[in-house]
Amino acid sequence: MIPVAVEKGHSSISKRSSLELADIFIRYGEEYRARHRLSRKQLSVMSAIEGCRTGRFGYHVDICDECRHLEYSYNSCRNRHCPRCQGIARRRWVNARLNDLLPIPYYHAVFTLPHTIFSLSLYNKALIYELLFQSAAETLLQFGNDPKWLGALIGFYGILHTPVFTGAGYGEERYGSICICIS
């Protein structure tokens, strides 16, 4: 744990009780950084997550309007990669999306390019990803229409995901994610 300085009398700052990503970074981060070559951005993200809500970024005081009770809380790092900081924003976003859903079953399917085809996509992205989504659509329609499986008319949409893993020996990987709505 990172030691923090708290003003005298401000001992009501709450402590975490469960294991979080920051705990792993704090415990193993120094060794990991020594063994792996990380970019400045990756080092900055790790540092921000390690210091999030520990006092490194200061604290703020909330005062109850009725009883004047004081509540002290450590400031967050506000890094977009931090699970603590993005937790509330993520829950708000998900809840907003849930309000948009129709009252029907939804399923999630992922179609991934093999590495041999992925390397071709570097030279003709439009064609390869059009073929990925076209084959995914044909597969879903075939299974959806087959009475053995669903026997239903399905609707779906697809999104191309491009996670990039660097610093650990990984190359770019891309996959198509399809949300399926069955009525």
**Three-state DSSP state, 120:** helix
Mean pLDDT confidence for 64-92: 89
Give the domain ranges of the chain.
21-97, 101-182
- Alpha-carbon distance 78 to 76, whole Å? 6
Residues with Cβ < 8 Å from 178, sequence gap 6 or more?
108, 109, 110, 111, 136, 140, 156, 157, 158, 159
Please give the mean pLDDT across all residues of the chain.
79
- Report residue 158: phi and psi, to 5°: -125, 150
Per-residue pLDDT, 101:
82
- Alpha-carbon distance 77 to 16, whole Å? 16
Per-residue pLDDT, 13:
45
Per-residue pLDDT, 170:
45
45-71 confidence digits (pLDDT tens)? 999 999 999 999 999 999 999 999 999
The predicted model scores a pTM of 0.48
**Extended strands (E) in the chain:** 59-63, 70-74, 106-112, 154-161, 175-182
Per-residue pLDDT, 162:
63
Residue 106 exposed, middle or buried by CB count within 10 Å (0-12, 13-18, 19+): exposed
Range in 88-97, 99-108, 162-171 the model is least confident about: 162-171
- Alpha-carbon distance 75 to 51, whole Å? 10
- Alpha-carbon distance 152 to 154, whole Å? 6
137-178 confidence digits (pLDDT tens)? 999 999 889 999 888 888 888 887 765 444 444 444 445 455
Under a CB-based contact definition with an 8 Å cutoff, are residues 143 and 132 in contact? no
Record the tokens describing residue 100, joined without a space. Answer: 């948009």
Range in 22-31, 73-82, 163-172 the model is least confident about: 163-172
Residue 32 exposed, middle or buried by CB count within 10 Å (0-12, 13-18, 19+): middle
Per-residue pLDDT, 15:
53
**Confidence class of residue 41 from pLDDT cuts 50, 70 and 90?**
very high
